[in-house]
Amino acid sequence: MPTSPYHLLLPEARSTSVVFASPHSGRDYPASFLRRAVLDAQEIRSSEDAFVDLLFASAPLHGAPFLTATAPRAFLDLNRGPDEFDPALIEGVRRNIHNPRVASGLGVIPRVVANGRQIYRGKLTLVEAHQRIIQYWRPYHDRLQMLIDQSINDFGQAVLIDCHSMPHEALENMGPPGAGRPDVVLGDRFGATASGAVMDQVEAAFIAAGLKVARNMPFAGAYITQHYGRPSRNQHAIQVEIDRALYMHETTLTPSAGFDAFRDLLDGVIAALANIGRVPAVRVAAE
């Protein structure tokens, strides 16, 4: 099993209200999990946000904490609610109100990886499902909440940058003809999880680095942005999806020749994002 439910990189001194987190870059695959899987070790990694933890690793150098998962997404999805259990996978779970994520096999304990490929040969027990929540989900989210609370206490605001990657194929047919694909998709649940001013500044940081940016399509954010984004309380959450083709080979899950250059480019973006958290908080009127 993974030795710890998360890794936390802290700056020498906290100088910004921005918190960086990567819930899907975990790659500690338990041997017992792999033995039960139908997929081979390469296939099961297809849902992983490979190398995102390395791309954003410089965050502490800019005064911000960086929280990363250890457990892989195929084992436990930290961007789902702790009660999003799939009755098609977990024994003894009642079928509740229709949840499209769970119905498609992408609950908190996924039934499938990318392209709908089944992970398991059979079902899991409800006891095992709850054990994964207790051992990995709750410690990660408890720590994330503590980091956000610290931002609120020390700076009067919190800005969560939830770091992800997206398959290049997910960007097919994006935007009007000839407009080009976005390199980055920012999600704030269509304005529900971050103020317009914060979203504009996050977008500007990526555009200044020469990256094409889209908002909320095809990814608007999931549990983490919905749960932690409370702009009326000066608590903002924005999901960042980066095209994997910019820095890795998706078929072999290996860094591309341009990985280091892209990581250096992102370091400038991270510095600009951290600066957002050094501006005095401006309270947003509640809806």
Among 88-102, 199-213, 214-228, name the one with the lowest average pLDDT: 88-102
Residue 233: phi and psi, rounded to 5, are -105, 15
- Number of Cα atoms under 13 Å in the Cβ half of residue 210: 6
- Percent of the chain scoring above 70 in pLDDT: 93
Q: What is the CATH number of domain 6-74+143-276?
A: 3.40.630.40
- Give pLDDT, residue 192: 97
Question: Quick check: 270 pLDDT over 80?
Answer: yes
CA 49 – CA 27 distance, rounded (Å)? 9
Check residues 285 and 15 and name the one with the higher pLDDT. 15
Quickly tell me which residue has 């977990």 as its tokens: 90
Mean pLDDT of the 71-83 span: 96
Contact by Cβ (8 Å): 49, 164:
yes
In the chain, the amino acid numbered 218 is P
Contact by Cβ (8 Å): 107, 86:
yes
Convert the pLDDT of each residue in 275-286 to its tens digit: 999 966 544 433
Q: How far is CA 155 from CA 238, 250, 277, in A?
A: 18, 39, 8
Check residues 248 and 284 and name the one with the higher pLDDT. 248
Convert the pLDDT of each residue in 178-214 to its tens digit: 667 899 999 999 999 999 999 999 999 999 999 999 9
- Percent of the chain scoring above 90 in pLDDT: 82
Mean pLDDT of the chain: 92
Give the DSSP letter of residue 284.
P
Alpha carbon 286 to its chain centroid, in Å, reads 26
* Strands lying side by side in the sheet with 18-22: 6-9, 66-69, 18-22, 158-166, 235-243, 184-187, 213-215
- Give pLDDT, residue 285: 38
Q: Where are the beta strands (DSSP E) in 72-207?
A: 158-166, 184-187
Nearest to 233, CA basis, from 184, 271, 195, 201: 195
Nearest to 187, CA basis, from 79, 52, 101, 26: 79
Quickly tell me which residue has 């095809």 as its tokens: 218
Question: Quick check: 167 pLDDT over 70?
Answer: yes
Q: How far is CA 27 from CA 1, 40, 44, 71, in A?
A: 11, 14, 10, 6
Domain coordinates in residue numbering, the chain: 6-74+143-276
Q: Which residues contact 88 (CB under 8 A, 6 or more apart)?
A: 105, 111
